[in-house]
Structure 1
Amino acid sequence: MTEKVKSKRNKTIDFSLDDAPAGVLEGIKNGHSDLSQLNNIINQTINGDTFEIMKRLPDNFVDLALIDPPYNINKKYDGMDFKKMSDDDYQTYTQKWIDLIKPKLKPNASLYVFSDWTTSVAIAPILENNFVIKNRITWQREKGRGSLTNWKNGMEDVWFLVNDKNDYTFNVDDVKLRRRVLAPYKENGKAKDWQETENGKFRDTMPSNFWDDISIPYWSMPENTGHPTQKPEKLLAKIILASSNKGDIVFDPFAGAGSSLVTAKKLNRKYVGIEQSSLYTAWGAYRLLRAEEDKHIQGYTDGVFWERNTIAAQGSVINNE
């Protein structure tokens, strides 16, 4: 076996199953496990086909569901090809997982569904027919392939859905964004709605549905894996903090390399995940073991989210704690 040679700064998790660290593979459940009882699946990752596994899970246990299905584009996932469908077929595919997940949700549950702009066009009416749409978040992820004949696609959509428009969790004070103040306002000579620190002037602002403070994971970040469409922990932390409470159950039926599960664990939530790839499941299991000791989420410090390029200021806060 040829060993991969990496830069010392490259923290990407991409080991093979043969090279999985001790203790990683032993705790993974699969289709042969008893999945019908809640205490058997809490804080577990289940390796298998989500369309089969979901049928075997108990009903009415999910407080928050994070749904990141394959977008309707051609993509390879650990040797498995997802082929672009017609809009009609992709809508059928979407309704299929919705029909399976709906019985698992509590009456006051929330869901977040990830998509790119082309996929959004197809799934929006399906989501509206099944849930209450509260908002559509735009995540400016920036990274994207340039084009000579079109605008570069640097955005993704995140649909915020609820079962009951009058009964759902939203903790707005837990998801404020700390931004630099460029034109500080004073009242009677004192700072108004902002703080002055040794690293500059900052204000904790109310969250909006445009998120421009989150980069995709990259090779020097400890959370980065070899998964081709991995979501950043900071993105998922905003959702989890806003739409669940400590001790709630976060469910991800397309768990990938476990980012949602790891983030839920770091934020003192329970979790259940399903992932079809054994390799991605192993990467997620390894990250979950590391989260026993390391609870840090890059870009989330002092109980608030920070805009980009504020690492020094965040470090100052951590050092003073």
Structure 2
Amino acid sequence: MPQKQERAPRNRTITLSAKERAEYKTRLLQLDQPVELQNVIDRIIHQDVFQILDFLPKQSVDLLLIDPPYNLNKTFNSNSFKKTGLSTYTDWLKICLDGVEPILKPTASVYICSDWQSSPAVFEAIKDRFQIRNRITWEREKGRGASQNWKNSSEDIWFCTVSDLYTFNVDAVKLKRKVRAPYTVDGMPKDWEMTETGNYRLTHPSNLWTDLTIPFWSMPENTDHPTQKPEKLVAKMILASSNPEGVVFDPFLGSGTTAVVAKKLGRRYFGVELDEMYACLAEKRLQIAEAEPSIQGYSEGVFWERNTQS
């Protein structure tokens, strides 16, 4: 049996020892009947979400974040997802949304992640169900180049709401950009700020996000989950579309990014994860967040362009 390759000394990837996994496993929740919000709040449920949808607390969630398996052949530790036809994938998404829709408050917001191939399926699944507000495209700068095609360097996030009454905190998600060509009036900055570390402008958030870094080995949030989203990305959605103490739910929690960011930003959360190792990793990350609540690329109440944070 091949030995695991040792990690470099500077590798900060979060891992689990056998002892830690056994400890964190005891914290995981399993449901066998319908529950109230108080029974699941700030907890991770280790089960197949499709088997417990009827057990989740009704009209309890302010913000739903869904990062489902994309319509690709992909292995997630002990589980695999197989690519299907687009219509079959659409039907799978509809079943998922049928189950989670009853747990949403009438004022809730919904974000659904996808790649470019799966994006039409997401639209088909939500177009007659929610109010579609926008489609966000974010730059995913990692990935292999292609010799006979354009490199895939973007993913989509569909932003929807249950109704026309919803939360959107625009001032909480402004982006701080460096000013490359300062414009002045009578020698004074116009719509930008001069500081000792450079010239900056606060800008309104758009549906094109180019300031993100995919977690990698030297980042303290990194895990071995193959499709881990950046904490900074999740922070944008949580800050924009929920208020402090609001309830955030993620039915495909993975290694816990949604729960971790919700905790760091003063929100309540619960999530479901099928794989035990990833669920235990999420518990470890939640414990780490108690001592280290920072989010890379977000400070002083604003998001910073990549590699510009002072």
Q: Identify the TM-score tier after normalising by the shorter chain.
A: over 0.9
Classify 1:306/1:52 alpha carbon distance in 2 versus 1 (closer, same or farther; 3 Å).
same
2:29 corresponds to: 29
Which structure 2 residues correspond to residues 139-288 of structure 1 after superposition, within 5 A? 139-164=138-163, 166-288=164-286
| 1:91 maps to 2:90 | yes
SS of residue in 1 equivalent to 2:117: helix
Classify 1:287/1:35 alpha carbon distance in 2 versus 1 (closer, same or farther; 3 Å).
farther
Unaligned stretches of 5+ residues in structure 1: 314-321
* C-alpha contact 1:35 1:41 (8 A) present in aligned 2: no
SS of residue in 2 equivalent to 1:108: strand
Equivalent AA in structure 2 for residue 25 of structure 1: K
SS of residue in 2 equivalent to 1:201: strand
1:11 corresponds to: 12
* C-alpha contact 2:173 2:239 (8 A) present in aligned 1: yes
Equivalent AA in structure 2 for residue 8 of structure 1: P
Measured after TM superposition, the shift of residue 82 of structure 1 is 0.4
Distance, in Å, in 1 between the alignment partners of 2:78 and 2:4 is 20
Distance, in Å, in 2 between the alignment partners of 1:8 and 1:269 is 34
1:48 corresponds to: 47
Distance, in Å, in 1 between the alignment partners of 2:255 and 2:240 is 22
Unaligned stretches of 5+ residues in structure 2: none
Question: What's the TM-score once normalised by structure 1's chain length?
Answer: 0.93
* C-alpha contact 2:115 2:156 (8 A) present in aligned 1: yes
Distance, in Å, in 1 between the alignment partners of 2:56 and 2:206 is 35
Distance, in Å, in 2 between the alignment partners of 1:30 and 1:222 is 29
Distance, in Å, in 2 between the alignment partners of 1:93 and 1:3 is 36
Cα deviation, 1:183-225, whole Å, max 9, x if unaligned, reads 1111222112111112110111110000000011011111000
Equivalent AA in structure 2 for residue 217 of structure 1: P
* C-alpha contact 1:172 1:207 (8 A) present in aligned 2: yes
Classify 1:203/1:147 alpha carbon distance in 2 versus 1 (closer, same or farther; 3 Å).
same
Measured after TM superposition, the shift of residue 123 of structure 1 is 2.2
* C-alpha contact 2:70 2:115 (8 A) present in aligned 1: yes
Cα deviation, 1:213-244, whole Å, max 9, x if unaligned, reads 00110111110000000000000000000000
Measured after TM superposition, the shift of residue 127 of structure 1 is 1.2
| 1:59 maps to 2:68 | no
Coordinate RMSD, CA, aligned: 1.5
Measured after TM superposition, the shift of residue 121 of structure 1 is 1.8
Distance, in Å, in 1 between the alignment partners of 2:116 and 2:237 is 20
Which of 289, 296, 317 lines up with 2:294 in the alignment? 296
Which deviates more, 126-135 or 253-262? 126-135
Measured after TM superposition, the shift of residue 31 of structure 1 is 3.4
1:38 corresponds to: 37
2:104 corresponds to: 105
SS of residue in 2 equivalent to 1:159: strand
Percent identity over the alignment is: 50
Equivalent AA in structure 1 for residue 275 of structure 2: S
Distance, in Å, in 1 between the alignment partners of 2:22 and 2:30 is 19
Distance, in Å, in 2 between the alignment partners of 1:22 and 1:288 is 16
